[in-house]
Amino acid sequence: MRKLIALLCMGVLVLGWQTAAAQPETPAVIGPTLNSILSRGVVNCGVSADFPGFGVVDPNSGLLNGFDVDFCRALAAALFGDATAVETIPLFSPTEGRAALQDGQIDVLLQMAVVSLADDAADMEFAPVIFYSGQSFLTRADSPVQDWPGLSSANICVVAGGSAEESLPAALDLRGLSAIISPLNNLSAAWDGLSNGRCDAISADLTSLTLLQQQADDSTAYGVWQRADQIYTREPFAPLLRAGDDQWANIVRWTILGLIQAEQLGISSETVTTLKRGKVPNPQDATQPFDEVDADYLNRVGWSVARVLDTSLGMGAQLGLATGFMQSVVAQVGHYGEIYARNLGSQSPLPIARTLNALATTGGLIYAPDWR
């Protein structure tokens, strides 16, 4: 049945390209990645299998769940109208993930890859950033070390060879502070040092620190510094693609931007139905309502919402997708904020404050351009 659905979708997509062929920005043919996806009926995504919140195996279902997995589901909903049309490939190292991408085993790598010049120059390219992180601090709640001034003369434990060991000295110098930096073998050793009083603070990436805190017998006895001015490096994470397939890159790019734009516009899994084009009463026959005409629909929701959602006025056909493809995406997966809350935020067991990952309108770094 899935193969049949895939073939039908391929026909719809080809028709979409033919219909929009007069527009120069529309791809003339189905690219190699999309062709493979439609033929097999699922999107193959490489995701972390051991990173709580981002990609981890559910012990009850045996399925991979997490922030990264939901972006894979969003791509499936964009292509097939079915967020379950995915094959998640569990990965345990960045090297393994990049090899799987280059070998064609996966269509997109969703493994918290930090945007880097090296990957961009190695026949790969990045989609839009979906998560901003950086180096911060974990301290005991009863410690006087609760902000930058308290780090003066403190003993800060870091992972040897990690980003904190490289970046922390400059961050301290910038603030006129002098501290002892103690490189240890791994985060477990740093955690032991904080627990037994050897370390006044641990410095590592924000997500790892939050996971350490949550694993404590009493998580309230520790605190992760989460204010934007306490996060002293910027490490943007983005999906990674093979270079050279612009058509697939555009689909991934605008699906991600669509999730962000949906949050900006208030289009959620709960409101998407009311923001779609609806019916208006027929005064002659209450059982046969009229379809909402363009003018009435635009007057109700505005052009910004219509371009993202509407099956007539939407812009999906320019990607070769269903015109209002974001309807299925948001209805099944939610907008960016819903994905974050479910996996990393208020509805998750972590939770990680959005801070850098809040919308730009609320002080964060997350934003999408208007669809036009």
* CA 301/CA 33 separation, integer angstroms: 35
pLDDT tens per residue across span 232-251: 998 899 999 999 999 999 99
Examine residue 312 and state whether it is found in any structural domain, yes or no.
no
DSSP string, 77-134: HHHHS-TT-EEEEEE-SHHHHHHHHHTTS-SEEEEEEEP-HHHHTTTEEE----EEE-
**11 plus 84 within the same structural domain:** yes
How many other C-beta atoms can be found within 10 angstroms of the C-beta atom of residue 123? 11
243 and 121, same structural domain?
Answer: yes
Q: Which two tokens stand for residue 91?
A: 């990965």
Mark whether 15 and 94 lie in a shared domain: yes
Residues 119, 143, single domain; the answer is no
Are 77 and 209 part of one and the same domain?
A: no
Three-state SS at 14: helix
Q: Of 297, 303, 308, which Cα lies nearest the Cα of 336?
A: 308
Sequence-separated (6 or more) residues with CB below 8 Å from residue 257: 128, 368, 369
Rg, Å, the chain Cα set: 23
**Shared domain check, 179 and 63:** no
Tell me whether residue 315 is in a domain: no
Domain match, 125 and 208 both: no
Q: What is the pLDDT of residue 114?
A: 86
Match 């006025």 to its residue by tokens.
313
- Residue 25: its pLDDT value, please? 45
Which residue segment(s) compose the domain that 342 sits in? Answer: 2-132+237-265+335-362
pTM summary value? 0.84
3-state helix/strand/coil string of 320-337:
CCCCCCHHHHHHHHCCHH
Q: Residue 22: its pLDDT value, please?
A: 33
Residue 19, helix vs strand vs coil? helix
What confidence score (pLDDT) does residue 2 get? 54
Do 16 and 117 lie in one domain? The reply is yes
Query: Is 40 exposed, middle or buried, given 0-12, 13-18 or 19+ CB atoms closer than 10 A?
Result: middle
Q: Does 350 lie in the same domain as 257?
A: yes
Those residues of the chain that have pLDDT short of 50 are: 1, 3-28
In a domain, 372, yes or no: no
Question: Cβ-count burial of 372 within 10 angstroms (0-12 exposed, 13-18 middle, 19+ buried)?
Answer: exposed
pLDDT at 234: 87
The pLDDT tens digits for 59-87 are 888 889 999 999 999 999 999 999 999 99
Residues 126 and 21 in one domain: yes
> What sections of the chain are H helices per DSSP?
2-19, 32-40, 67-80, 94-102, 117-120, 163-174, 187-195, 206-215, 246-265, 272-275, 294-301, 303-309, 326-333, 336-343
* pLDDT, position 73: 98
Closest-CA residue to 229 (of 81, 355, 44): 355
Strand bridging mode 108-114 / 201-205: unpaired
> Domains in the chain: how many in total?
2
Q: What letters, b where the CB count within 10 A reaches 16 and e where it falls short, cover 136-149?
A: bbbbbeeeebbebe
| 245 plus 122 within the same structural domain | yes
Q: Based on the domain organization, do 6 and 82 belong to the same domain?
A: yes
Query: Of 213, 233, 253, which closes a domain?
Result: 233
* Burial environment of residue 282 by CB neighbours within 10 A (0 to 12, 13 to 18, 19 or more): exposed
